[in-house]
C-alpha cells in the first residue's frame, strides 16, 4: 500500500490540489448565478461541473509543467508558483506528464459527448474550448503566457468561459445570463495571474516568458494587481451586497497604496492577502447568490 501511495503522490502534487479554487469557484459561481436568475439547480449537473473543473485542472497543469520545464528548473525562489516541482525534483519527467495529460482530456470529451443525451448539445463545444485554452496557454504555436497575454488568457478562460459553462449545464441554455456580472470575475482572474507570476519574474525573464512582472517590474505589477482587484470589488458592489464587496475593496485599496520594499517576505504577504481578498469576494458572492447569507 505504501509503495502505491508513493507512486501516486507525485501525480497528485503535479495536479496542485491547493489551487483547485481557480476552477472550482468560477464553476460554482456560474451555477449560483443560474439559481438566482432562473431557479434551476440540479445536483447531477453540479457534480458534473465540479468533476469537469478537476479534469480541466489536471490536464492544464500537467501541460503547464511540461511546457515550463526549462523555466522551473531555473527557478530557485518559487513559492505558490514555479510549477509543481515534480520535474525539477526528479519525481516525474516532462514526457510522462505530457502523455498523462491526454487521460483527463479524453474524459472531458467523453463526458461532454455523453451529455448530448441529456439535452446539453453545446457541452462538446465548451469542452473543445477548454482543451484549446489549456494547450494554448503554454504550448506552441500560441504560447499566450510567453507572449505577454497570460493574464488576459486566464481572465477570459477562468472568469468568462467557466462560469458560462456552469450556467449552461444547469439551465440548458444561456438564456437570461447576467453578462455584466462577469466583469468583476474576469478582472479577479486577470489580477490573479499577475499576482502568481511575481515570484517567477527572474526565471521568466531569463526564459523569455513575457509575464506581467517581466514587462512592468515587481512594484508596478503589485500595484496594478491590487488596483485591478479593487476595480473588480467596486464593480461587484453594483451587483452584490456591500458586505460582499466592501471588505476586499478596502484590502485591495490598502495593498495598492501601501509603500513596500521588494523582498521575499513582502511578496509572500502581498500574495496571501490578495488571495484572501479574491476568495472573500468569490465565496461570499456565491453564498449570496445561493441565498445562504
* Helices of type H across the chain: 2-15, 21-38, 43-67, 69-74, 94-100, 102-114, 123-138, 150-156, 162-171, 182-196, 201-206, 212-216, 218-236, 242-257, 264-289
- In this model, does residue 52 exceed pLDDT 80? yes
Structure letter (DSSP) for residue 241: -
The percentage of the chain sitting over the pLDDT mark of 90, rounded to a whole number, equals 75
For residue 233 the three cell numbers come to: 470589488
Give the pLDDT confidence of 80-96 residue by residue, as tens digits: 566 677 888 888 898 99
Give the pLDDT confidence of 148-206 residue by residue, as tens digits: 999 999 999 999 999 999 999 999 999 999 999 999 999 999 999 999 999 888 888 98
Q: What's the CA gap between 66 and 96, in Å, rounded? A: 9
Q: CA–CA distance from 105 to each of 19, 52, 88, 135, 212 (Å)?
A: 19, 10, 24, 11, 29
Asked if 158 and 22 count as a contact pair (C-beta separation under 8 A), the reply is: yes
Asked if 73 and 204 count as a contact pair (C-beta separation under 8 A), the reply is: no
* pLDDT score at 227: 97
- Indicate the SS3 state at residue 149: coil
Instruction: Report the mean per-residue pLDDT for the chain.
Output: 91
Q: What is the mean pLDDT of residues 28-39?
A: 96
* pLDDT score at 81: 60
Task: For residue 258, name the pLDDT band (cuts at 50, 70, 90).
Answer: confident
Amino acid at each position: 500500500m505504501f509503495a502505491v501511495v508513493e507512486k501516486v503522490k507525485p501525480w497528485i502534487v503535479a495536479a496542485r490540489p491547493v489551487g483547485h479554487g481557480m476552477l472550482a469557484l468560477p464553476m460554482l459561481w456560474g451555477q449560483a448565478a443560474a439559481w438566482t436568475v432562473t431557479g434551476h439547480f440540479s445536483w447531477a449537473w453540479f457534480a458534473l461541473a465540479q468533476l469537469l473543473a478537476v479534469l480541466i485542472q489536471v490536464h492544464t497543469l500537467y501541460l503547464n509543467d511540461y511546457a515550463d520545464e526549462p523555466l522551473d528548473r531555473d527557478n530557485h525562489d518559487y513559492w505558490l508558483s514555479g510549477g509543481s516541482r515534480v520535474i525539477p525534483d526528479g519525481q516525474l519527467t516532462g514526457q510522462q506528464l505530457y502523455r498523462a495529460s491526454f487521460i483527463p482530456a479524453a474524459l472531458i470529451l467523453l463526458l461532454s459527448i455523453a451529455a448530448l443525451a441529456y439535452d446539453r448539445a453545446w457541452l462538446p463545444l465548451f469542452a473543445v474550448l477548454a482543451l484549446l485554452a489549456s494547450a494554448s496557454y503554454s504550448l506552441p504555436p500560441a504560447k499566450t503566457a510567453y507572449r505577454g497575454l497570460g493574464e488576459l488568457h486566464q481572465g477570459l478562460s477562468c472568469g468568462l468561459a467557466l462560469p458560462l459553462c456552469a450556467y449552461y449545464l444547469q439551465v440548458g441554455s444561456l438564456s437570461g445570463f447576467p453578462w455584466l456580472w462577469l466583469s468583476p470575475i474576469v478582472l479577479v482572474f486577470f489580477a490573479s495571474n499577475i499576482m502568481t507570476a511575481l515570484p517567477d519574474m527572474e526565471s521568466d525573464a531569463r526564459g523569455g516568458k513575457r509575464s506581467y512582472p517581466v514587462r512592468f517590474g515587481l512594484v508596478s505589477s503589485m500595484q496594478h494587481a491590487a488596483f485591478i482587484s479593487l476595480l473588480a470589488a467596486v464593480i461587484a458592489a453594483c451587483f452584490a451586497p456591500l458586505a460582499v464587496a466592501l471588505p476586499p475593496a478596502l484590502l485591495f485599496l490598502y495593498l495598492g497604496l501601501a509603500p513596500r520594499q521588494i523582498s521575499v517576505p513582502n511578496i509572500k504577504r502581498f500574495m496571501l492577502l490578495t488571495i484572501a481578498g479574491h476568495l472573500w469576494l468569490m465565496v461570499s458572492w456565491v453564498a449570496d447568490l445561493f441565498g445562504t447569507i
